[in-house]
Structure formats: C-alpha cells, structure tokens
Amino acid sequence: MQFHDINQNTDEWLDMRIAKITGSSCSKMMAHYGKSFGDPAKKAAVQIAVEQLTGKRSLVDGYSNAHMQRGHEQEPMARELYEDQYFVDVDNGGFFDCGNAGCSPDGLVGEDGLIEIKSVISSVHYANIKRGDIDPAYKWQIHFNLLKTEREWIDSISYCADFPQDKRLHVIRLNKADCEDNFKMIIEREAQFFELVEEIKTNIKKG
C-alpha cells in the first residue's frame, strides 16, 4: 500500500484509479456475495480489463449526478463541523494505491483514523439516525476503505444541511478489530473478481 497526498477529482487522481477496484465501486463487486457476479460487477470487470490492456482511463469516470454534485459542494461544511464537534484536524484523504485496488477516503484523522462523508437528503439522514448504524448503501465502501488504508477506525458521517444546526451531523465509528469478518469477505470476493477480469482479458485477446 502506498499513500499519495493528492486532491480528489484531479487528472492525476483519475489516472491513479485506472484499472483498479476502488471504494466507490466496491459495492458492485460485493453484491450477491456467495453467488455469481451481477451485471454491475461484470460491467466494472470489463472496464478494468480494458484499462489494464490499454493503460487508458475509461470515460465512465466522468459520470456525475445531482447527488454527487451536492456531496462535492457540502463535504467541506461537513468536515468543518466534524472538526469542531470532535476537536480534531482532518487531513487530505489523498489516494491509497494497493495494486489492483485503491481508495480515496474523505479525510485522515491523526495516525489511526479516517472519515467518509455522505451528504444526504432529509429522509435519508433521518433514517440513518433512527437506524443507529451505517447506511447499508455504503457498508462495503466504508469497510473497503478501512481495510485498504490499514487504519484502526473509520467514522461514517451522515450530513444533512436541511436539519437543525445541532443535528446536521450523525457519526458512526467502526473499529478495525470489529470488522474482520467483512474484511475476509472483501478479500475473497476481490480475488474472484480479478479472476473474472483475467478471463475477460483473455477473451478480448482471442476475439
């Protein structure tokens, strides 16, 4: 694992993600765990196979939507609020290069921690508060980032700018020691995923 202190969404950052499974795409790989891969995982495997063969970035990385745009705009506000409430400084998450995998946490806290921020609408934030646990939609990304960064804990942050000031931030901490079972699942599934990538590369070369 090698850490690069670079800014997310720059050309350099996008180039580092070429041909890798990343935190944001991990959920596709982990879907239907224990069964064959679904279409989203197969499409991701094709993208990675082509990128490995060509060394070029896929245009898929340019995709964006309203939810992603809101996240980019509100993430600094969430980070500042988190720093104020927890009396910590959050450093740049950069990019962790782990060979065939990589991840870009939203921030690093000291030597042991990291954060993942999700800027959400009111109904989702309310559901996160009632659940008292991480949003299932981001379960695998959060575990993947904690595994790949080799840090001790991760704070999953749900942020909603529409909520009252003192309720805009909801934080759930996961400790590395409590995630071993999910780590084993990710490692197993990742090995299967890259077997699929190799199969696709072979078929492309034969075609």
Q: Which tokens sit at 135?
A: 């949003």
Residue 29 clears pLDDT 80, i.e. is over it: yes
- H or E segment at 106? none
Compute how many other C-beta atoms are within 10 angstroms of the C-beta atom of residue 92.
Answer: 15
* H helical segments located in 31-178: 39-54, 66-86, 122-131, 139-149
Q: At what angle do helices 180-206 and 39-54 cross, to 10 degrees?
A: 60
Residue 31 clears pLDDT 80, i.e. is over it: yes
How many residues are recorded in the chain?
Answer: 207
Q: How confident is the model at residue 194 (pLDDT cuts 50, 70, 90)?
A: very high
Domain definitions of the chain by residue range: 2-206
Question: Quick one: pLDDT at residue 99?
Answer: 95
46 contact partners, CB below 8 Å, separation of at least 6: 200
Say what the alpha-carbon torsion angle 46, 51, 53, 55 is, to the nearest 10 degrees.
Answer: 180
Average pLDDT of the chain is 93
Q: Which tokens sit at 99?
A: 């060979």
Reported as a single tens digit per residue, the pLDDT across 34-91 is 899 999 999 999 999 999 999 998 876 555 555 556 556 789 999 999 999 999 999 9
Sheet holding 169-175, edge to edge: 90-91, 107-109, 113-119, 153-159, 169-175
- 168 close to 119: Cβ distance less than 8 angstroms: no
Question: Quick one: pLDDT at residue 112?
Answer: 97
Q: Which tokens sit at 43?
A: 């499409």
Question: Quick one: pLDDT at residue 67?
Answer: 57
Residue 145 clears pLDDT 80, i.e. is over it: yes
- Per CATH, which fold does 2-206 belong to? Lambda Exonuclease; Chain A (3.90.320)
Reported as a single tens digit per residue, the pLDDT across 99-134 is 999 999 999 999 999 999 999 999 999 999 999 899
> Whole-angstrom Cα distance, residue 68 to residue 64?
6
